[in-house]
Amino acid sequence: MATIAPQRPQVRTSPTAYEAIKAHYEKNPGERPNHPHKWDVSRSDIYFEDTWQPIFKEMQDAGPLHYIPDSPYGPYWAVVGHKAIQHIEALPEAFSSSYEHGGITILDPLTQEEAEAAGNAARELPMFIAMDRPKHTGQRRTVAPKFTPSAMGDMEEEIRRRTGELLDTLPRGKTFDWVDKVSIELTTGMLAILFGFPWEDRRLLTFWSDWAGDTELASVRDLDSTRWEILQEMAGYFQTLWMERTQDEEPGNDLISMMIHSEAMNQMRPEEFMGNLVLLIVGGNDTTRNTMSGIIHSLDKFPDQRKLFEENPEMIPNAVQECLRYQTPLAHMRRTCTQDTEVFGQTIKEGDKVVLWYLGANREDTVFEDPHKLDITRDNARRHIAFGYGIHRCVGARLAELQLRVLLEEMHKRRMRVHVAGDVERVRANFVHGFRKLEVEITEF
Ligand code: HEM
């Protein structure tokens, strides 16, 4: 029987989330939130200005977790100790990730009333990062086979080819923005391959990921309805791809086909399917992108380490771990306490918001010697918790490591030295930790 291919819906491509926030604050200059507590590390300015380090150090010297009674996100526990974060993540029953309790970022999900006021029927798209056991286990299993070592082996050649081709197009002796030309291009390209996403539309993945994942944006509640409309358009687009794939006679090897044909999928509601797609896009996008930018920025900041990398390519795997530690592209994850629990001498009460600051923990000086130095020979670089810990530890970690390793190897093969040579602008947010712009110039070593 002949079938008619569904038509892909029209979707908007502007304004970007960044443009929308900027325009909002230009119109409402006095509206930026107030942070009265000196240890309230939810203030996004400290990440934008890169001045967060001494604050975390002071907190760590005083203890691994602190109650912050007053913040624009309400009261919360700031967990800044490496060991304490692992301890909490190892107790997923007592520290929930689910939206019903409060979700995974410092910003609470919309209440039903807020969602209705913003014209949204649902509060958030359901996704397994924001679920507890046993539901989390079943849904995570659907996508995990795509990230096994053997699946990574199958993808390496293609990642290497695309990375090499892109590096060969970069201008020499001319300043350009590494974020736009390399970090975004490589990450969206990778996700497009993974999902079997139409190549010509791959920049939509960045556009959507920014609208979905920016906590600063979400804290501007005026933009909620725009955000929701854009996410609905994205869901519509993916639904069409999904319908296309269900008509394929042979299931493809891409993630969408895998999810459609998996056992657990039969028990997933359509909005859960969409939610999990969004999770994979957002999870894989900002994070890998910002590490690719962080690598360049940190190697330029520590020229002795750049030289070591140039002279010792066998150090690349450890350099990848060290760059992940140093950048930590997700500054935090959040849990909500479900039963009074004692942690390192403090009682966390049922209902309390618990924010795990990976960024601070990855610079704790009792775990990492001279923590603010990039050291690609560091023998415990692998102890970083940039991918989290426990049952929710990043499912895409191997893919991210592969992309970062290949990037460094292909740069090395071409004897590329990348210098910061112009504007550097960081993201103003307390969740995504990275670069909006990184102007560089390439020379040879
Ligand atoms: C979860 C970081 C790349 C997909 C997470 C978590 C972190 C993280 C911190 C939460 C862990 C926890 O709560 O303990 C990163 C970093 C990346 C990266 C730093 C790159 C440098 C990717 C990629 C993908 C991905 C490439 C897939 C394409 C996911 C998913 C989850 C997750 C699906 C949810 C896992 C679960 O709840 O079981 N990631 N991620 N991530 N990440 Fe990543």
pLDDT tens digits along 315-358: 999 999 999 999 999 999 999 999 999 999 999 999 999 999 99
Q: Is 387 in the pocket of ligand 1 (CB under 6 A)?
A: yes
Q: pLDDT at residue 220 above 80?
A: no
pLDDT at position 266, please? 63
Q: Is 388 in the pocket of ligand 1 (CB under 6 A)?
A: yes
Distance 393 CA to ligand 1 centre (A): 7
Q: Is 288 in the pocket of ligand 1 (CB under 6 A)?
A: yes
**What's the predicted TM-score (pTM) here?**
0.95
* The residue count for the chain: 445
Which amino acid residue places its CA nearest to atom 26 of ligand 1? 284
Distance 109 CA to ligand 1 centre (A): 19
With tokens 């918790």, the residue in question is: 385
pLDDT at position 221, please? 67
- Using the CB atoms, write b or e for 100-131: b if 16+ within 10 Å: ebbbbbbbbbbeeeebeebebeebbbbbbbbb
**How far is it, in rounded angstroms, from Cα 104 to Cα 282?**
13
Cis peptide bond upstream of 317, omega within 30: no
**How far is it, in rounded angstroms, from Cα 420 to Cα 416?**
13
**How far is it, in rounded angstroms, from Cα 156 to Cα 291?**
19
Q: Is 402 in the pocket of ligand 1 (CB under 6 A)?
A: no
Number of helices followed by number of strands (H, E) in the chain:
18, 10
Q: Is 294 in the pocket of ligand 1 (CB under 6 A)?
A: no
Q: Going along 320-415, which residue ranges are E strands?
A: 332-337, 341-343, 346-348, 353-357
Which amino acid residue places its CA nearest to atom 32 of ligand 1? 394
**How far is it, in rounded angstroms, from Cα 1 to Cα 85?**
56
**How far is it, in rounded angstroms, from Cα 253 to Cα 196?**
8
Domains of the chain by range and CATH?
29-444 (1.10.630.10)
Distance 84 CA to ligand 1 centre (A): 20
Q: pLDDT at residue 267 above 90?
A: no
**How far is it, in rounded angstroms, from Cα 66 to Cα 59?**
8
Q: Please provide the distance, in angstroms rounded to a whole number, between the alpha carbons at the two ends of the chain.
A: 61
150-206 pLDDT, tens digit each: 999 989 999 999 999 999 999 998 999 999 999 999 999 998 988 888 989 999 998
pLDDT at position 34, please? 82
Which amino acid residue places its CA nearest to atom 36 of ligand 1? 392
Tokens of 16: 């970007």
ipTM score above 0.95: yes
Closest ligand 1 atom to 276 CA: 33
| Sign of torsion over alpha carbons 274, 277, 281, 282 | positive
**How far is it, in rounded angstroms, from Cα 102 to Cα 123?**
11
